[in-house]
Amino acid sequence: MTTHELIETLESLVRELEKALGQASSLEALEELRVRFLGRKGKLARIMPLVGSVPSEDRPEVGKAANRVKTGMIEVWDAKKAELEHAGERQSLVGFDPTIPGRTPDRGSLHPITLVMNDICKTFVSLGFEVVSGPEVENDFYNFEALNLPPDHPARDMQDTLYITDKILMRTQTSPMQVRTMECRTPPVAVVAPGKVYRRDSDITHTPMFHQIEGLLVDKNVTMADLRGTLDAFIRTTFGADVKMRFRPSFFPFTEPSAEVDMSCVMCGGTGHIDGKPCRVCKESGWVEILGCGMVDPAVFTNVGYDPEIYSGFAFGLGIERIAMLKYGIGDLRMFFENDTRFLRQFV
């Protein structure tokens, strides 16, 4: 083969490849052509040994032609590949509707108990109270002794209290926060303490863990009228201006006098009946009990080093689950703890 013929043969490879590429419609076909033309045993590779057979003065020229041909082949092949890939992208967009709304991920939300707890705290903060918190694992002194609960008081019974050791227990009420607060402050004091409490109790209307909010106000000349006014403001803010409130005499070791507070039943509007049928929430009475309260017992003041001759105060404690049930009209306490998202989603 003459030098001229060899260069001709080499150059015809580019045209031949170009023609073949024109027919190729898939990336697989493209790859096949790469192997056939540019592969180790491909057309170009098979011609290359002939370069050695031309007269030595012609070799630089033939060598250059061979390089040019190789670059040219790679270029046309690359261009075809880019074209096919681009077409593939366009194809994958066929049937894509950019107006279809995206999938919204599920968002978490605050638990209804947390919502009610935050709301109640907000109401008391607007009345000048401060929110404080303390330990759920408590010792006997704060949970019982300092609150004037003598050692033989039935509330200490193993039936009610979850003991960890003889003296360490899960707090059965948020009232120990009264003692913890007074211990490290001087009056005037006005705090609310929300949190979890624990009792050995489990049935349809009781869970071993539930939530309370404790309130405490101590100053000079605090009277039961202040207590009543404060609770009245709280109940009206939470349940509306039409709700009525009543005090019933009661007993708590850490308050004297003590009272339980009822409000008119929000389910039946205080009538005791819904559509002529007895209201199950208030058991036909028209009233529901919502909290315990009273004037701080002088013995508690003495336990924390306050002079009961100078200071007086009131305290109250309420169950948050109960308030949430009444506020949202929920009939079963267990709903709060099952964490069924269909239930929880309603409170977003």
CA distance 43 to 20: 13
CA distance 151 to 155: 9
Residue 321 tokens, joined: 């689950």
By CB under 6 A, is residue 148 in contact with ligand DAH? no
Task: DSSP letter for 315, please.
Answer: E
Among 124, 144, 210, 252, binds ligand DAH (CB under 6 A): 252
| Closer residue to ligand DAH in complex, CB, 85/160 | 160
By CB under 6 A, is residue 140 in contact with ligand DAH? no
CB of 173 to ligand DAH, least distance (A): 4
CB of 277 to ligand DAH, least distance (A): 31
Beta strands in the chain (DSSP E): 130-131, 137-139, 168-170, 189-198, 209-219, 245-252, 255-264, 273-274, 277-278, 287-296, 312-319
Q: What are phi and psi of 302, to 5 degrees?
A: -60, -40
Helix axis angle for 224-239 and 320-328, nearest 10°, is 40
Asked if 266 contacts 330 with a C-beta cutoff of 8 angstroms, the reply is: no
Asked if 209 contacts 301 with a C-beta cutoff of 8 angstroms, the reply is: no
Site string for ligand DAH, 206-225 (x = CB under 6 A): --------x-----------
Among 230, 255, 303, 312, binds ligand DAH (CB under 6 A): 255
Among 156, 292, 311, 333, binds ligand DAH (CB under 6 A): 292
Q: How many residues bind ligand DAH (CB under 6 A)?
A: 11
| Closer residue to ligand DAH in complex, CB, 194/317 | 317
CB of 298 to ligand DAH, least distance (A): 14
User: Per CB under 6 A, which of residues 63..82 are in contact with ligand DAH?
Assistant: none
Q: Which stretch binds ligand DAH (CB under 6 A): 126-134, 160-168, 264-272, 292-300?
A: 292-300
Site string for ligand DAH, 293-322 (x = CB under 6 A): xx--------------------xxx-----
HEC string for 213-282: EEEEEEECCCCHHHHHHHHHHHHHHHHCCCCCEEEEEEEECCEEEEEEEEEECCCCCCCCEECCEECCCC
Asked if 194 contacts 212 with a C-beta cutoff of 8 angstroms, the reply is: yes
Residue whose Cβ sits closest to ligand DAH? 317
Site string for ligand DAH, 28-57 (x = CB under 6 A): ------------------------------
Residue 306 tokens, joined: 């306050």
Q: Which stretch binds ligand DAH (CB under 6 A): 97-105, 106-114, 291-299, 338-346?
A: 291-299
| Closer residue to ligand DAH in complex, CB, 37/142 | 142
The string over 139-176, giving b where at least 16 C-beta atoms fall within 10 Å of a residue's C-beta and e elsewhere, is: bbebbbbbbbbeeeeebbeeeebbeeeeeebbbbbbbb
By CB under 6 A, is residue 123 in contact with ligand DAH? no
CB of 305 to ligand DAH, least distance (A): 19
What are the start-end ranges of the H helices in 135-210? 140-143, 176-183
Using CB under 6 A, list all residues that contact ligand DAH: 173, 175, 214, 252, 255, 292-294, 315-317
